Structure 1
Amino acid sequence: MTDLRPDVQPARDSADPTVERLREAVEAGFPRTVADLTRLVRIPSVSWAAFDPAHVAASADAVAELVRDLGVFDLVDVRRAPIGEGDGAALGQPAVVARRAARNGRPTVLLYAHHDVQPPGRDEDWDSAPFEPTLRGDRLYGRGAADDKAGVMAHVAAIRALIDVVGEDLDLGIALFIEGEEEFGSRSFAAFLRENRDLLEADAIVVADSNNWDVDTPALTVALRGNVTFRLTVSTLDHASHSGMFGGAVPDAMLAAVRLLDSLWDADGAVAVEGLRSADLATPDYPEAQLRAETGLLDGVEPVGRGSILSRIWAQPSITVTGIDAPSVANASNTLLPSVSVRLSARIAPGQDAGEALAALQAHLRERAPFGAHLAIDDVDTGQPFLVDTSGWAVAEARAAMAEAWGREPVDIGVGGSIPFISELVEEFPAAQILVTGVEDPDSRAHSPNESLHLGVFRRAVLTEAALLARLQARSSA
């Protein structure tokens, strides 16, 4: 059993003069850091196919300019990689890469984040325009303010602070990879790693795209669920028919789809698909009141699933219907629908192979198709879950840097969301140690309306990374 129960220690003061100098540098540069972040947030860099790719290109150029201005990299470039095989393969969205070589036996660290963002959704669901960054209290609101343009700026600002304290003549090797299509499935990621392996190879990899325990307590993410998503089309007729003339004798596609989808869960709302497994993780206490506060669960609506709340999120599978192609209520006519398509998104527990999970879902659906309905499954995406090896020196250095920056010992957490490309990083760089950090907190609402960044968390995240870089700068790669 992996134990993810946090042992939160009280605040402590750092006695390291280097950390205190870094703290001063981060604080002095923070207005510039926030100003640069707001400029990035104003670029609507949605990487989904239905959105203008020119905005993602503009975002990549803006990030590249910030990286070049650091003055420490031997190479800074904007590059793309193909999606799929063959000469006619489409290119993925632009990513920014940079590298400076390590010297005098120092290690190399790869810093990852992504500059693309989720679609904003409906403007009326936002309290301020999604691409007009707005400060309210101690939070900066806007699409991408937290996920993950703050991760991009955490890397930039940490390197700025390190330069201010140590100087530009660093021995530490630094590689940078700012991806441009993470929110659209990282479809060119594997090819990008292969084509740019020499630029990206490192002893440790920092993935700045996760959460913290709360606004006062840092966290290192050590468990991630994987994902299986696909389009399911349910068909029962070769053309629409009058619902009054034939309803009650002819099963329409909506009836079949509703009955089929309902079979995915049991009466408690837990996943009822044979072959989808859970992981054995000991989780911290997380009361239902906290779940309600952080998610906006309505009065009278009960949580679903079984076991501890965090085990349901971190260590058990879940299935969500994220979209339905069917007539809108405004356009509904009295017809029996011939076909209905839905988008299914399944999260799978650490330890289960994504291909195995896909096969279990497909078998479940095909075996339970009501009334002999015809099923089609396509547009499949999968991502492997991940458990971080916490025994290496990089994890120890990261935990020490977090404690120095936050004045509180970090906790190990799992995350219910997926970062499937981490398994591809491990496959391409098996000797590298993985550190999954982030700038978010439980109220950041990534992917949702009113996404925001807590500026206190952001400030401490920047200092954490600057302290980590300083520790690696002083460390032999051996």
Structure 2
Amino acid sequence: MTDIEQAVEAGMPQTIEDLTQLVAIPSIAFPGHPAEPMLAAAAKVAELLRSVGLPHVELHPVAGSYPAVYAEAPAPAGAPTVLLYAHYDVQPAGDPALWRTPPFEATVIGDAIYGRGAADDKGGLIAHIGALRVFQGDFPVGIKVIVEGQEEYAGERLEEFVEAYPELVRADTIVIGDVGNPKVGDPALTTALRGMAAVTVEVRTLAEAVHSGAFGGAAPDALAALMRMLTALHDDNGDVRVPGLQPGTFPGEGSSDEEFRETAGVLDGVSLVGSGSIADRVWASYAITVTGLDVPTVSGAVNAVQAVARARITLRVPPSGDSKTAVNDMMTFLTQVAPWGVQVSFDDLVTGPGFQAGEGGKARAAIEEAMERAYGQAPREVGQGGSIPLVATLARLHPEAEILLFGVEDEGSSIHAPNERVSIPELQRTILAEALFLQNLAKS
């Protein structure tokens, strides 16, 4: 066992304690949630960065958002500089009844830690902390760290910040710690990210809701109209019907249908949707998901024809696609298929670009060697169906930098869902791979 491997193993109790403390902070940046936990999380991140020997740590205000935590240590003579990225905000917990453990209380069960953000992305952040702790402040390369506070609630706030201060994030290599492997112990480098867009569509038909007995059958129902519009987005096979949003192909291998069904928890007898391989569908094609509806609840329903109905729609965009064009195409289509002359409007539009990695150079070779050592097998290339808009911005601002995406998550981590968890062995392997990578890069 090498000195680095020994240091990583010895540091795991502190690593788990650090993650436990972070998970306990309900740092949700979505509207309607309090600001105090967000600020507490930012302060905790700054404390952790100082604790691993980074001499310069500060909180940068980000317009319309929460502070970005920035840290740096100068590069030794002739050594490259590495920028490490993560985010400290998390998804809302959702229905607490669906959680087997308290969402904001890190709970160890077997070899996993459960809690909101344990994987996405407080686990990724703690992997950076664990790797840096190995060097006790004597880093083999220059280090920069930026940790944002509003990644989950989509927007372009940090992107605008780095546009204004591009030198702050200039580096030879950029490591994005907000992804992971197809499954535990199966090392992978993410080379493609889908872009995204999200918008709220509203349908109005009446001045106000009216009695379904007196008016039903002639009065246009806003909810029925919205349902027809939403179902028009896909054909009977589940493929996207919006003109211009064509499916793509991914050159690498993804999950089998059976593996995907198991990971996604698809019920017996329920078919998968869409065409092409799983990799094609979730890494290289458009996907439209209705993520929320504003309509009366079943428990509070009254006998009325609805005057207004709203839906939140998320659109995932292939790495080569343009998010703004794609969401405009979708909004145009929804307007065209709207029945009965209903009034359609859109608001709260957000977009983010995708990313396609290049062939790579010294940094790519260094991380491949490090991951093979940490996992016992060479990593493979995968895509990610999710979106990290900042990555495309960094690639555009600093095209000379190599961008590497790897991390602690796996397809069983239940990110954005109840019972999110991170595998402790996977967390340890990710920390080891990152520490070895920093050492390898210095030598190269």
Q: What range is the shorter-chain TM-score in? A: over 0.9
Alignment CA distance shift 1:252-1:72 (3 Å): closer
Q: Is the 8 A contact 2:221 2:306 kept in 1?
A: yes
Q: Is 1:96 the counterpart of 2:59 in the alignment?
A: no
Equivalent position to 2:97, from 120, 124, 127: 124
Structure 1 spans left out of the alignment, 5+ residues: 1-16, 83-90
Instruction: Report the CA distance between 1:318 and its aligned residue.
Output: 0.9
- 8 Å CA contact retained: 1:162, 1:469: no
What TM-score, normalized to structure 1? 0.90
Is the Cα–Cα contact under 8 Å of residues 81 and 195 in structure 1 kept in the other structure? no
Q: How far, CA to CA, are the matches of 2:248 and 2:396 in structure 1?
A: 22
Q: In the alignment, is residue 467 of structure 1 matched against residue 436 of structure 2?
A: yes
2:196 pairs with 1:227:
yes
For 2:298 and 2:138, how far apart are their aligned partners in 1?
A: 64
Return 282-291 or 94-103, whichever deviates more: 282-291
Q: What's 2:186 paired with?
A: 217
Q: State how far apart, in whole Å, the 2-side matches of 1:260 and 1:54 are.
A: 39
What are the equivalent positions in structure 2 for 1:71-470 lying under 5 Å apart?
71-73=53-55, 75-82=56-63, 91-163=64-136, 168-170=137-139, 172-284=141-253, 286-470=255-439
Quote how far apart the aligned CAs of 1:285 are: 5.5
- In 2: Cα distance, 1:169 partner to 1:350 partner: 38
CA distance in 1, matches of 2:433, 2:175: 12
Distance 2:263 2:439 in 1: 35
The letter for the 2-side match of 1:98 is A
Separation (CA, whole Å) in 2 of partners of 1:281 and 1:70: 39
> TM-score with structure 2 length normalisation?
0.97
Gaps of 5+ in 2: none
- Tell me if structure 1 keeps the 8 A contact 2:254–2:382: no
Name segments (4+ residues, structure 1) moved above 6 Å.
none
User: Larger deviation: 57-66 or 194-203?
Assistant: 194-203
1:23 equivalent in structure 2: 5
Partner Cα separation in structure 2 for residue 312 and residue 197 of structure 1 = 34
1:12 matched residue in structure 2: none
* Cα deviation 1:410-453 (Å, max 9, x = unaligned): 01001111112211111222221111111011210001100000
For residues 431 and 57 of structure 2, the distance between their equivalents in structure 1, rounded to whole angstroms, comes to: 21
- Total equivalences in the alignment: 444
Is this contact kept in 2: 1:175–1:200, CA < 8 A?
Answer: yes
Alpha-carbon separation, structure 1, partners of 2:254 and 2:20 = 36
Post-superposition CA distance 1:335-369 (Å, at most 9, x none): 11111010011111121111110121122111111
Q: Report the 3-state secondary structure (helix = DSSP H, G, I; strand = E; otherwise coil) of the residue aligned with 1:371.
A: coil
Work out the CA distance in 1 between the residues paired with 2:227 and 2:154: 27
Q: Is the 8 A contact 1:170 1:473 kept in 2?
A: no
